[in-house]
Homo-oligomer: A and B are copies of this chain.
Amino acid sequence: MTGPTDSAESTGSTNVASNPSSNASPRTPAENGELALLCEVAGTPKPGNVDRAREYPDLRFEHFLAGAVGARRGLAMAAAGESVGESFECAVRGMATQRGGNTQFGAVLLLTPLVRAAAADENSRDGVSRIVADTTVADAVCFYRAFEHVDVAVADPPNGWDALDVRRGADAADAIRERELSLADMMATSAERDGVAREWTSGFERSFALADRLAVLDGPLPERASRAYLEALAAEPDSFVSITHDADTAREVTERADRVLSDHEDGDAFATELIEREINPGTTADITAAGLFVALERGIEV
């Protein structure tokens, strides 16, 4: 055999479904992590994001399928207690085994500590906060390395932080070590401008709130995900839109999402328009995937 191997993946899987005493999800945390990625992209409409009814010419639905399949390797590492940084880098490397480029980088960044916490029976804001607090300088170095596997649009670093610009990839490693910054420290520097980083510093406030909404809404899970996404989009300007366009555009999207929720505007038409304008509220999609994971771990049925 010259290719990658599945051998170790199977050993534990044998035991997976033979635990009738468990009241938890019938899936493992890594399986739920992958399924959260898949249910996020399956939910439609999700204005501005690829879903099963809308895609970009070069970023298509199947890229997300392959990306989610590939990301599970790293999520399984996190579930096994490997470091958040190494698990995340592995997940991103697996996610990048398709030609669409960045599919769900931010979602995987949220899922990695969530999966690790859930695997330790700590599917809670406190539980994931402890995982975040325990991250190290080595985790930060891995995080930077992950950017070498895929192109990700990011904000400019704060003044004085140029040496730590994630776009420098592994070259920034020395600067990270010199300043002794953990991955949690890194996220704190970005929290003001980046909604994914803000989840890391806030105890995943919006992810858990979205999971609560999923439990309350009616209908099939992807429909609930679509609705919860719209609500989250209407509640707060999307930071990925702010980064890739500007604050005014992000505000417009938020106001329009609110109009869709109040039936003053058609959701499908809005979704098509945002794809045409290439306005992608990716942060809100990331938080939707994280909320789906928390809900799946709590036992929401598919």
Which residues in A have some Cβ–Cβ distance to B below 8 Å? 1-17, 19, 21-31, 34-35, 38-39, 42, 52-53, 60-63, 65-66, 69-70, 72-82, 86-87, 90, 93-94, 97-99, 119-121, 220-222, 301-302
The one of B10, B12, B31, B93 that contacts A69, using a Cβ cutoff of 8 Å: B31
Establish whether residues B22 and A73, one from each chain, have CB atoms under 8 Å apart when the complex forms.
Answer: no
- Cα distance, A82 to B74, chains bound together (Å): 23
Give the docked Cα–Cα distance between A10 and B7 (Å): 10
Measured CB to CB, the nearest residue on chain B to A99 is B301
- Copy number of this protein in the oligomer? 2
Interface centre among A6, A70, A76 (most CB of B within 10 A): A6
Contacts of A14 in B (CB 8 A): 77, 82, 86, 90
Interchain CA distance A6-B87 in the complex, whole Å: 13
A81 to B81, CA, bound (A): 26
- Distance A80 CA – B37 CA, assembled complex (angstroms): 26
Residues of B within 8 A of A301 (CB): 98-99
Contact A5 B10 (CB under 8 A): no
Contacts A8-B12, A22-B2, A77-B13; A61 near B52 (Cβ below 8 A): yes
A1-B127 Cα distance, complex, nearest whole Å: 14
User: Least Cβ distance of A43 to chain B in Å?
Assistant: 9
Q: Pull 10 A–B residue pairs with CB atoms less than 8 Å apart, ordered by A.
A: A1-B121, A2-B24, A4-B15, A8-B12, A10-B78, A13-B90, A17-B93, A38-B65, A62-B220, A72-B72
Do residues A27 and B39 form an inter-chain contact, with CB atoms below 8 A?
Answer: no
Q: Which residue of B lies closest to A29 (CB)?
A: B6
> For A7, A26, A79, which residue has the most chain B Cβ atoms within 10 angstroms?
A7
Task: Tell me the nearest residue of chain B to A120, going by C-beta.
Answer: B1
Cβ-closest chain B residue relative to A118: B3
Q: How far is the CB of A25 from chain B (nearest CB, A)?
A: 7
Cβ of B61 and Cβ of A222 under 8 Å apart?
A: yes
Q: Contacts A35-B66, A121-B1; is A26 near B77 (CB within 8 Å)? A: no
Give Cα A29 to B5, complex, Å: 8
Contacts of A65 in B (CB 8 A): 35, 38-39, 42, 302
- Contact indicator B99/A10 (Cβ below 8 Å): no
Give A23's nearest chain B residue, CB to CB: B2
Q: From B5, B19, B62, give the contact of A3 (CB < 8 A).
A: B19
Q: Which residues of B contact A82 (CB under 8 A)?
A: 10, 14
